[in-house]
């Protein structure tokens, strides 16, 4: 496959004659999805922060991280709309006017960066929440495990963010057609696909991380089931993330027509961000009476999470 944003000359030679006057278009559903997901994201994060400020009179690190994720999520949504309406993502790649090559390529790069920063911020919010729960529990193993997930989140974000930006030397070679003879690029399709799979695994593990501890608490079976269901809502996010990875393969490896085929990928990415924000719903169960250090941690979980509706 091509090593740059644009197809190689031999691929261009097989395409229909470019239609710059009245080309086929798509993207309305993509823009509508981005707007709806953006509004929902702002609503749920605002609800969470207002509740925290009213009930706890302050914010925790998990709140700051989810706000970080929201900011870059909104950037991702705006990026989608601008890319579709102004930079040619509503056209087939062969109908893309040459004057839009650079802008369209930059839209792709920034979309990757914004998505990585948003989802990483949301994941860091969950991990910060988990650290708060085990802070006084004396469980060194769990603290190390959570810190390990923090490191994995940072490494994944840096690795795939840098790959997205510096896949060509000079960077401008990524959107230059034809590619300069002295330019050097590497095909990042497989790397990006592997990264998508790793992100799915990281999301699933992060969402399910507290389940073994919570299910071991000394509490009635009904509460165990309820808490398990609440925490397992992250599986929905994982399903969307898996679907996004499938479309990632189709848009990066299965075709050169990235501007046209990327729309299902962008829609899945939009939905994934808002679900990642909404999924860690706080339990509404009454806190059980502390019977041990672990059950005391469950009470702490309820009290801390109760002020976090998102």
Residues linked to residue 169 through DSSP beta bridges, in sequence order: 184
Q: How far is 203 from 125, CA to CA, in rounded Å?
A: 12
Q: How far is 188 from 181, CA to CA, in rounded Å?
A: 19
Residue 43's Cβ-side half-sphere holds a number of Cα atoms within 13 Å equal to 9
CA dihedral sign, ordered 84, 86, 89, 91: positive
Closest CA to 265 of 51, 108, 124, 97: 108
Q: Which range, 114-123, 186-195, 225-234, 291-300, has the best average confidence (pLDDT)?
A: 114-123
Asked if the model's pLDDT at residue 249 lies above 80, the reply is yes
DSSP letter for each residue of 117-183: HHHHHHHHHHHHHHHHHHTTTT-HHHHHHHHHHHHHHHHHHHHHHHHHHSSEESGGGGT-SSPPTT-
Q: Give CA separation, 241 vs 42, 51, 238, in Å.
A: 21, 29, 5
Q: Which range, 38-52, 174-188, 245-259, has the best average confidence (pLDDT)?
A: 38-52
Q: Is 184 helix (H, G, I), strand (E, B) or coil?
A: strand
Q: Work out the pLDDT band at 9, boundaries 50, 70, 90.
A: confident
Q: Give CA separation, 245 vs 83, 85, 191, 274, in Å.
A: 20, 24, 12, 17
Asked if the model's pLDDT at residue 12 lies above 60, the reply is yes
Asked if the model's pLDDT at residue 287 lies above 90, the reply is no
Q: How confident is the model over 37-53, as a mean pLDDT? A: 92
Predicted confidence (pLDDT) per residue in 177-217, tens digit: 888 888 888 877 778 888 888 888 888 888 778 777 666 66
Domain assignments of the chain as residue spans, ordered by start: 24-305
DSSP letter for each residue of 205-260: HHHHTTHHHHHTSSS-HHHHHHHHHHHTTHHHHHHHHHHHHHHHHHHHTS-S-HHH
DSSP code, position 289: P
Q: How far is 302 from 285, CA to CA, in rounded Å?
A: 8
CATH of 24-305, one of 1.20.1070, 1.10.10, 1.10.357, 2.60.40: 1.20.1070
Predicted confidence (pLDDT) per residue in 101-136, tens digit: 999 999 999 999 999 999 999 999 989 888 877 775
DSSP code, position 87: S
Q: Are 66 and 121 in contact (CB under 8 A)?
A: yes
Q: What pLDDT, on the 0 to 100 scale, is given for residue 48?
A: 87
Predicted TM-score (pTM) of the model is 0.86
Q: How far is 91 from 100, CA to CA, in rounded Å?
A: 11
Closest CA to 119 of 236, 199, 232: 199
Q: What pLDDT, on the 0 to 100 scale, is given for residue 191?
A: 80
Helix (H) or strand (E) holding 307: none
Q: Work out the pLDDT band at 224, boundaries 50, 70, 90.
A: low
């Amino acid at each position: 496959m091509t090593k740059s944003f644009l197809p190689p000359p031999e691929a261009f030679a097989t395409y229909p004659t470019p239609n710059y006057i009245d080309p086929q278009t798509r993207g309305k559903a993509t823009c509508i999805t981005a707007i709806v997901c953006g509004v929902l994201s702002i609503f749920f994060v605002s609800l969470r922060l207002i509740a925290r400020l009213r009930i706890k009179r302050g914010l925790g690190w998990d709140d700051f991280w989810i706000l970080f994720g929201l900011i870059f999520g909104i950037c991702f949504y705006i990026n989608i709309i601008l890319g579709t309406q102004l930079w040619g993502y509503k056209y087939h790649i062969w109908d893309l006017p040459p004057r839009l090559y650079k802008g369209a390529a930059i839209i792709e790069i920034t979309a990757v960066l914004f998505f990585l920063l948003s989802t990483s911020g949301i994941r860091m919010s969950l991990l910060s929440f988990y650290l708060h729960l085990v802070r006084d529990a004396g469980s060194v193993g769990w603290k190390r495990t959570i810190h390990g997930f923090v490191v994995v989140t940072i490494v994944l974000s840096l690795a795939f963010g840098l790959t997205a930006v510096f896949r060509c030397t000079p960077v401008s070679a990524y959107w230059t057609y034809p590619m300069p003879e002295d330019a050097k690029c590497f095909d990042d399709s497989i790397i990006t696909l592997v990264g998508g799979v790793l992100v799915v695994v990281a999301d699933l593990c992060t969402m399910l991380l507290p389940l073994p501890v919570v299910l071991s608490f000394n509490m009635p079976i009904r509460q165990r089931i309820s808490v398990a269901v609440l925490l397992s809502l992250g599986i929905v996010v994982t399903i969307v993330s898996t679907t996004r990875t499938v479309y990632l393969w189709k848009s990066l490896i299965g075709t050169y027509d990235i501007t046209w085929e990327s729309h299902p990928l962008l829609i899945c990415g939009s939905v994934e961000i808002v679900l990642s924000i909404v999924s860690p719903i706080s339990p509404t169960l009454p806190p059980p009476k502390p019977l041990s250090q672990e059950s005391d941690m469950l009470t702490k979980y309820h009290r801390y999470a109760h002020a976090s509706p998102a």
